[in-house]
Structure 1
Amino acid sequence: MGIVINQSIKNTAVTYFGFAIGAVNALFLYTNFLGKLHYGITAFVLSAANILMPLMAFGVHNTLVRFYARCQSETERERFLSFMLWMPLLLIVPVCLFFGWFYDDVAFFVIRENPEVKPYLWLIPTVGICMGYFEVFYAWVKVHMQSVVGNFISEVLVRAVVMVLLFGVHWGWLTPATFLYGATAAYALQLLAMMGYAFYVKRPTFHWSVPHNVYDIFGYSFFILLSGGIGVFLIDFDKVMIPAYEDVGSNALYSVAIFIATVIAVPSRAMLQIIYPITAKLMAEEKYDELNDLYKKSAINLQVFGGLIMLGIFLNIHQLYLLIPAEYSGGVAVVFLIGLSKFSDLIVGNNNAIILNTQYYRWVLLFGVLLVVMMVVLNMVLIPRYGIVGAAWATLISIVVYNAIKLFFVVKKMRLYPFTGQTLKSLLLIVVVFVAFYFWDFGFHPLLNIALKSVLVTAVYGYLNYRWRVSPEMNQVLDRFLARLKQT
């Protein structure tokens, strides 16, 4: 667990730095510089590109991690990596040709309620390709246990460039319309940076041979394409569906709330960058006792840290909305609903990584397809009635059901269980701290209120977790930190 804790801490620091930039962008710069219309269009384009990303990557980012650990020699690994580089083109080329030939038909079907989006539709596959190949090169460095720099490129680079572009709009260098093209260029820059670092970590040796297990590779990649598409679908489909029933500007309100809630998922994103290849290695070596230990530790550590972030958001949400232009208010309920869905992802630890590396991975696909149908139906029913709050309810219900099914699958098939007595302790602490702090605020400026309340909540929550030893690994990290302080 040492390398996990080490790189998780670094990844968490990098990810939160990126999220800090993203918070300034999403909560202040987008809302003040870009306007609701173009903010809504930007959210639509990027969400649609994210949905398209698994198709553009052809599942290679997960396939690379799974099968790289099974290569027996350096020559076999080089041939496998080379094959992974060109494999996504098998889908990218026909998808782009289809999109080009039927552009007007796609535009009519997708955005008939908001025709102002049409000029930007071609950006969706362009950004999708950049996102897809970025994930391929990111997986390239993950299998070499080098995730920190890639995480920096992933979380910080695009957000920093977008911040510059938003200031460009504010200073009159760019129009809101040309901002979208600049944002597309930012994703292209992210791809080039990731590719350069991947080739620095492991210079490719190009081969044109096909791996001996090519049928297994294609079968698994096709599964990842579908299952990964389902996962992204559950996250971003609501932002694509809202413009079908509401003004595209509603996407701006929804995006602000979504961004706030997504901060809860940062610990998971940081830790799982390194846990996934370790899980694949343990599965390949059939070290199930170590895997079970990793499963439990990842679940409780994510729950404790994610619980603190969730409390920080929920307990300060009303003050935070006072800092945002009034026209973007009305998303508090969305923050709570999406926040709970993100927390449900945290408490099952490296559940996804385990499932994707078992012989049973195809069985999960059926459940995913059924859940996509459920989410589409829920959005169609709830958005017309309740607007963006209905979309949030659809997301929460779908993700909780999806996680419950996957958890049951791992318990039933693998005899692995992420929960312990510490899980109940952690949940109890979260509820107690929430009830104790939610119903009051300091009578100061919102920024000062947020700072003071966050410090107080962190101190109380951290102390109670430490005293109850909810996470032994976090206690060890804190003990080492306190020991170093005493020595200085």
Structure 2
Amino acid sequence: MGIVQNQSIKNSIITFIGFGLGAINALFFYTHFLGKLHYGIVNTLLSGANILMPIMAFGAHNTLIRFFTSYKIEEKKERFLSFMLVWPLFMSIPLFFLYFLFYNHIVTFGIDKNPEMRPFIGLFPVIGIFMGYSEVFFAWAKVHLQSVIGNLINEVLVRFLVMLFLLGVHFDILTKFQCIYAIAFAYFCQMVVMMWYAFKIKFPKLQFQFPENFREIVSYSLFIIVSGGVAVMLIDFDKMMIYKMMKVTNNAVYSVGIFMATLISVPSRAMIQIVAPITSRLVAEKKWTELNELYKKTSITLQVSGGLIMLLLFVNIHEIYKIIPDNYQGGIYVVFLIGISKFFDLIVGNNNNIITNTNYYRTVILLGVFTVVLMLFLNWLLIPLYGINGSALATLLTIFIYNSIKLYFVVKKLNLFPFTLKNLISVLVIVLLFLCFSFWDFKFTALLNIILKSILVSLFYVFINYKLQISEDFNRVVAMVLHKIKA
């Protein structure tokens, strides 16, 4: 776990910086400078673009990671890398044509309740292709085990540019209308910078030949479009359903809650970036014992680190909403429901990467289709009953069912299992500390209450986990920090 731990720590720091910028944007700048209407439009646009992204990239970002390590001859690697660069471009051209051919039909989706969205409908596929190629270039860096700078570009650059644009609105340099187009431009900048970094690592020697396993690559890419589309829909299609069934301003309230819940995923986003290519190599070399060990370590490490974030978020949630302007308290239950779903994502560890790197990946296509249908049905059923809380509940139920089936599949087919007794102990520690601290506050201002309670909860949490030795990697990081403090 040496390279995993080293780059995961760096990636975690970068990801936290990115989320710090994102927190300022999501909780203060968007809410204060852009307002609910335009904030809701931005989140609807980005959600729609995220849904289109796997299609626009034609799954190349995952396919690159899946097959790169299988090539042992440099010439074959070059041919494969060249193919991965041009393949999404050729596939996206007809998709752009179809999108604008049926533009008038697409516009009607949700526009009756939200006519303010009409000027921005054309941005969905444009941002989608920017996001798609950014992921392709990031995968290029990851297969060469160089994820840190790519993560910096991925997590920090867009959020920093968005922050500048929102400040531009505040100082009357940009209108709110112009700011939305500027945010789309930020994703273009991300794509260009990521391309520069990827080519700096390994400049392509373009070869206009199909790889020898072309059919297998295309088959896998089609699978990634389905599975990746499912994964993205589990994250973003709820916002599209809210846009269809409610006023787009509700997406602003919903997105604030979603952003806070997404903080729980930070350790996963950092670790999986470097674990993914290692998983691909272990599967290719059929080292199942090592893979099972990696599976268990990622599960408990992500559970302990993500559990701390979830605990801090849950015990401080009411105080956090007191410092957010413009009355966004309607999203409190969204934080709890989506937060639990994110935590369940953590504890299944490296589950998804294992499936997508084995020959069983085709069998989950039907599961993906079932999941999408289930999600659409639950949102259609629950949004009219409970509004945005109904959408959050639909997401929680869908993710729980989806991950449970995938976990069963990995256990049954591959004889891999991520959990140990330590996972149960970790859950008990989180529940105990939540019950102890959730209903207790200092009698100070909201911000001071958050700081003091967070320090106290963190000390108890770290101490208990360290003494119980629940996670080797967590203890190693704590010991390293303590050593530096003493030094």
The two structures share one fold, judged by TM-score above 0.5: yes
User: 2:348 aligns to what SS in structure 1?
Assistant: coil
Letter in 1 for 2:20: A
Say whether 1:56 aligns with 2:56.
yes
Q: How far apart, in 1, do the equivalents of 2:450 and 2:231 lie? A: 33
Q: Could you list the per-position Cα deviations for residues 242-283 of structure 1 after superposition, in whole angstroms to 9, with x for gaps in the alignment?
A: 022111101100011100110000100000000000000011
Q: How far apart, in 2, do the equivalents of 1:484 and 1:380 lie? A: 53
Letter in 1 for 2:475: N
User: 1:330 aligns to what SS in structure 2?
Assistant: helix
Match of 2:157 in 1: 157
Give 1:325 deviation, angstroms: 1.8
Match of 2:349 in 1: 349
Q: How does 1:126-145 map to 2 (within 5 A)?
A: 126-145=126-145
Q: How far apart, in 2, do the equivalents of 1:405 and 1:147 lie? A: 30
Letter in 1 for 2:343: F
User: 2:349 aligns to what SS in structure 1?
Assistant: coil
Match of 1:87 in 2: 87
Q: How far apart, in 2, do the equivalents of 1:297 and 1:314 lie? A: 25
Match of 1:205 in 2: 205
Q: How far apart, in 2, do the equivalents of 1:382 and 1:412 lie? A: 33
Match of 1:220 in 2: 220
Q: How far apart, in 2, do the equivalents of 1:84 and 1:284 lie? A: 20
Match of 1:174 in 2: 174
Count residues in correspondence: 487
Match of 1:328 in 2: 328
Match of 2:366 in 1: 366
Q: Is the 8 A contact 2:304 2:474 kept in 1?
A: no
Give 1:484 deviation, angstroms: 4.2
Give 1:234 deviation, angstroms: 0.8
Give 1:385 deviation, angstroms: 1.1
Match of 2:104 in 1: 104
Match of 2:410 in 1: 410
Match of 1:473 in 2: 473
User: 1:174 aligns to what SS in structure 2?
Assistant: coil
Q: How far apart, in 2, do the equivalents of 1:481 and 1:446 lie? A: 29
Q: How far apart, in 2, do the equivalents of 1:484 and 1:156 lie? A: 27
Comparing 95-104 with 108-117, greater Cα deviation is found at 108-117
Q: Is the 8 A contact 2:31 2:326 kept in 1?
A: no
Q: Could you list the per-position Cα deviations for residues 324-348 of structure 1 after superposition, in whole angstroms to 9, with x for gaps in the alignment?
A: 1243221110000000000000001
Match of 1:375 in 2: 375
Give 1:222 deviation, angstroms: 0.3
Q: How far apart, in 1, do the equivalents of 2:462 and 2:172 lie? A: 46
Q: Could you list the per-position Cα deviations for residues 47-104 of structure 1 after superposition, in whole angstroms to 9, with x for gaps in the alignment?
A: 0000000000100001000100000211111110000001112321111111122212
Q: Is the 8 A contact 2:238 2:391 kept in 1?
A: yes
Q: 1:485 to 1:41 in 2, by over 3 A?
A: closer
User: 2:208 aligns to what SS in structure 1?
Assistant: coil
Q: How far apart, in 1, do the equivalents of 2:27 and 2:111 lie? A: 26
Comparing 112-121 with 433-442, greater Cα deviation is found at 112-121
Match of 1:230 in 2: 230
Q: Could you list the per-position Cα deviations for residues 334-363 of structure 1 after superposition, in whole angstroms to 9, with x for gaps in the alignment?
A: 000000000000001110110001111111
Q: How far apart, in 2, do the equivalents of 1:483 and 1:41 lie? A: 48
Match of 1:447 in 2: 447
Q: How far apart, in 2, do the equivalents of 1:449 and 1:326 lie? A: 21
Q: How does 1:10-29 map to 2 (within 5 A)?
A: 10-29=10-29
Match of 1:45 in 2: 45
Match of 1:194 in 2: 194
Q: How far apart, in 1, do the equivalents of 2:264 and 2:253 lie? A: 19
Comparing 332-341 with 243-252, greater Cα deviation is found at 243-252
Match of 2:73 in 1: 73
Letter in 1 for 2:472: P
Q: Is the 8 A contact 2:238 2:379 kept in 1?
A: yes
Match of 1:273 in 2: 273
TM (norm. structure 2) is 0.99
Structure 1 vs Structure 2: percent identity of aligned residues?
A: 56
Q: How far apart, in 2, do the equivalents of 1:282 and 1:369 lie? A: 28
Match of 2:6 in 1: 6
Q: Is the 8 A contact 2:264 2:306 kept in 1?
A: yes
Q: How far apart, in 2, do the equivalents of 1:163 and 1:394 lie? A: 31
Give 1:35 deviation, angstroms: 0.9
Q: Could you list the per-position Cα deviations for residues 122-151 of structure 1 after superposition, in whole angstroms to 9, with x for gaps in the alignment?
A: 111110000000000000000000000000
Match of 2:256 in 1: 256
Give 1:479 deviation, angstroms: 2.5
Q: Is the 8 A contact 2:55 2:229 kept in 1?
A: yes
Q: Could you list the per-position Cα deviations for residues 461-482 of structure 1 after superposition, in whole angstroms to 9, with x for gaps in the alignment?
A: 0000001000022212322443
Q: How far apart, in 2, do the equivalents of 1:55 and 1:154 lie? A: 19
Give 1:321 deviation, angstroms: 0.2
Q: How far apart, in 2, do the equivalents of 1:183 and 1:248 lie? A: 18
Letter in 1 for 2:287: K
Q: How does 1:263-302 map to 2 (within 5 A)?
A: 263-302=263-302
Match of 2:338 in 1: 338
Q: Could you list the per-position Cα deviations for residues 285-319 of structure 1 after superposition, in whole angstroms to 9, with x for gaps in the alignment?
A: 11111100000000000000000000010010100
Q: Is the 8 A contact 2:21 2:159 kept in 1?
A: yes
Q: How far apart, in 2, do the equivalents of 1:28 and 1:394 lie? A: 27
Q: How far apart, in 2, do the equivalents of 1:20 and 1:32 lie? A: 17
Give 1:108 deviation, angstroms: 1.1
Q: Could you list the per-position Cα deviations for residues 373-432 of structure 1 after superposition, in whole angstroms to 9, with x for gaps in the alignment?
A: 011011011101110000000000000110101100000000000000111110110110
Letter in 2 for 1:193: V
Q: How far apart, in 1, do the equivalents of 2:476 and 2:259 lie? A: 32
Match of 2:122 in 1: 122
Q: How far apart, in 2, do the equivalents of 1:191 and 1:394 lie? A: 33
Q: How far apart, in 2, do the equivalents of 1:247 and 1:26 lie? A: 19
Letter in 1 for 2:408: F
Letter in 2 for 1:106: I
Give 1:110 deviation, angstroms: 4.2
Q: How far apart, in 2, do the equivalents of 1:24 and 1:46 lie? A: 18
